[in-house]
Amino acid sequence: MMSGRKIQWACVNVCRMVVALTFILSGFVKAVDPLGTQYKIHDYLAAAGMADIVPDVVTLGLSVLLAAVEFSMGVFLLFAIHRRTVSRLMLAFMAVMTPLTLWLALTDPVKDCGCFGDAVVLTNWETFAKNVVLLVCTFVIFRRPMMMVRFISKTNQWIILNYTVLFILASSVYCLYYLPVLDFRPYHVGADIKKGMEIPDGAEQPQFETTFILEKNGTRKEFTVDNYPDSTWTFVDSKTVQTAAGYVPEIHDFYMQTLDGEEDVTDKILDEEGHTFLLISPHIEQADDLNFGDIDVIYEYCIDHGYSFRCLTASNEDAIQRWRDITGAEYEFLHADETTLKTVIRSNPGLMLLKHGVVLWKWSHNDLPDLDENAPRLEDTVYGTVKQESFTETVTEIVLWFMLPLMLLTFADRMWAWTGWLRKKKNSNKRYQRLNKKNMRKKIVAGNWKMNMNLQEGVALAKELNEALTADKPNCDVIICTPFIHLASVAQILDKDVIGLGAENCADKEKGAYTGEVSAEMVKSTGAQYVILGHSERRGYYGETPEILKEKTLLALKNGLKVIFCIGESLEEREANKQNEVVKAELEGSVFNLTAEEFKNIVIAYEPIWAIGTGKTATSEQAEEIHAYIRSIIAEKYGEDVANETSILYGGSCKASNAPELFAKEDIDGGLIGGASLKAADFKGIIDAWK
């Protein structure tokens, strides 16, 4: 069975994937169709009566920004970049969007929320349900953001962050200048417009109900066809309501009619056997006229080769005449629905090529085909048949455009870091050698539980730590030192390759009539590998002298235990600037009698007594200074090699917040942790400082 922590880990990462992929899809389909998103924003503003207040440039900017934010947040969550910050932003975003979509579902100002553009159309209630799921998922992620597994190292996060924002903004600009690289609308290249307008035989028809209001002798009543009364009733009014939607074809609002409105030419144009060019401009008064010369050239090409060329617009005749005056346009103009024209092509103007109602090609006004008087007939060019587009190939190309540069940038970043490190190495060889010697030493984080937790609580904590560190391997040696009652039980739980076990003390006698004492042999028999000796609390509360500690150390080593030996000065000694004298005397009195070979089993823990449990912490510079001094006196006694192999831990109120700064110092090889080791999350936070 999975443990509670593993279940949490699985839930967080499943929720992370659900939210990330949803945001990436939502942001991307908006980014590749920024005009479509702008139109949807305009629909919302119209429902709120603000459509005429907010300029188009603002709604277009909001469209691009919204797409970039959604896509980028999804990618950051997918790669676990800035996990805490992104999880908070996600939760805040969903906390706003969920009640907003509830309001949309209740009031129904627009039929389609547009959250996935035209790729996936959801009703407002479906959108609200989706957002409820996402809100729950983002809350799960928010509670345990550090459980998200990284897909890229922390040092390379900036590459993902910057390139993602650049990529999605560039995608929107590209699709604005040309056309959306993915077209999910019913007028995409290859679509048969007339077929899309067909209603299948036997399809459900829309249902209507008419109510008649009649009057007789001053009394008015409502009747239906089923209970219509006799002729003595006088007709007053009637009302008809639709009771069932019926089948609605994919294309249901496409029409083309003459400017005077007298003739619908839709079927005529869609049934034409030859090629037909349609210049699409929802509002021709707002159309870009910079490329009208190229449009006129294509029109002349059509005249020369017998192809049809017409312009569809929703604008009035004054706007059409103004376009004619500016461009000299001689082609025919037809009226069509504004919303339909915006759906047909995301460009104003845009150009579409049809043949027998099938969409062959579409172009933005910025990327018109090169068809002049010297060009061959369409039948002899690529434009004569449907443009060959593969959805799968397009998506693959987009993914590669995103992933390949990221991989190259990451590789370049690592190479730059490596060559920079080599340069620094050459420039400061002495510094390099010292760092290299530090890397030879064991990095250790040891927990000292002191007199806390009963047996059951201690076993539970040990299990939690073991599971957490087994799942997320530490980059250092981890040791937990427990009260005697826990040792044997905890030893059965721990994976010795992940967590070492130690006692908090042992007796200075080998065996005998010493009631209440626990010998080094007994400690070793429980499965422990370490023992803490010389802790300031043992020295202060129980009067342990250097001679007693000397005996304890010898017995511990004799029984195969490694010793975490504590030294440190009091506040009075620190203020008197006697810290160096104190630590030197403590080493000389208890462990400097050992041989060099024996001393290799000693781990020194420097604990400024004035910083233990007081909330005070020695600065990293103060800690480094005394650690360097301790290493120097070890070198004086045993030589540089032994000194460089000896791990020296800091034991003064070390927390996850200050551990990275402390552990970055040359002579600090880890920490002996007190209160922060009693909670798995706090202790692991310190362990993770080595990462």
State the catalytic residues: 535, 607
If one counts every other C-beta atom within 10 angstroms of the C-beta of residue 23, the result is: 25
Q: Which of 676, 591, 661, 581 is nearest to 622 (CA)?
A: 661
The answer to whether the beta carbons of residues 93 and 137 sit under 8 Å apart is: no
Q: Can you tell me the distance from the alpha carbon of 120 to that of 21, in angstroms, rounded to the nearest whole number? A: 14
What string of H, E and C letters represents the secondary structure of 218-276?
CEEEEECCCCCCCCCCEEEEEEEEEEECCCCCCCCCCCCECCCCCCECHHHHHCCCCEE
DSSP assignment of 313-359, as one string? E-S-HHHHHHHHHHH---SEEEE--HHHHHHH-SSSSEEEEEETTEE
Give the count of alpha carbons within 13 A of 597, CB side only: 1
- Taking the CA atoms of the chain, what radius of gyration do you get in angstroms? 39
Print burial letters for 236-263: b (CB count within 10 Å at least 16), e (below 16). eeeeeeeeeeeeeeebeebebeeeeeee
Half-sphere exposure in the Cβ direction for 259 (13 Å, CA) = 13
Q: Is there a contact between 235 and 216 (Cβ–Cβ < 8 Å)?
A: no
CB under 8 A, 24+ apart: contacts of 244-248: 244/204, 244/206, 244/207, 245/206, 246/203, 246/204, 246/205, 246/206, 246/207, 247/199, 247/200, 247/203, 247/204, 247/205
- Give dist(CA 683, CA 661) in Å, integer: 16
**CA separation (Å) from 487 to 20, 63, 491, 657?**
44, 62, 6, 30
H helices present in 332-454, as ranges: 338-344, 391-427, 429-440
Burial of 374 (0-12, 13-18, 19+ CB in 10 A): exposed
SS3 labels along 566-624: EECCCHHHHHCCCHHHHHHHHHHHHCCCCCHHHHCCEEEEECCHHHCCCCCCCCHHHHH
Query: What are the C-alpha distances in Å from 634 to residues 580, 591, 641?
Result: 13, 10, 10
Give the C-alpha separation, 296 to 302, whole Å: 10
Count of alpha carbons within 13 angstroms of residue 134, beta-carbon side: 25
Burial of 611 (0-12, 13-18, 19+ CB in 10 A): buried
> Hey, what amino acid is at 52?
D
Cα distance between residue 285 and residue 313, in whole Å: 10
How far is it, in rounded angstroms, from Cα 486 to Cα 179?
A: 69
Which DSSP helix (H) or strand (E) runs through 672? strand 670-673
327 Cβ neighbours under 8 A, 6+ residues apart: 289, 292, 295, 296
CA distance 691 to 684: 11
Which of 327, 335, 360 lies closest to 282 in space, CA to CA? 335
Residue 220's CB: how many other CB atoms inside 10 A?
Answer: 12
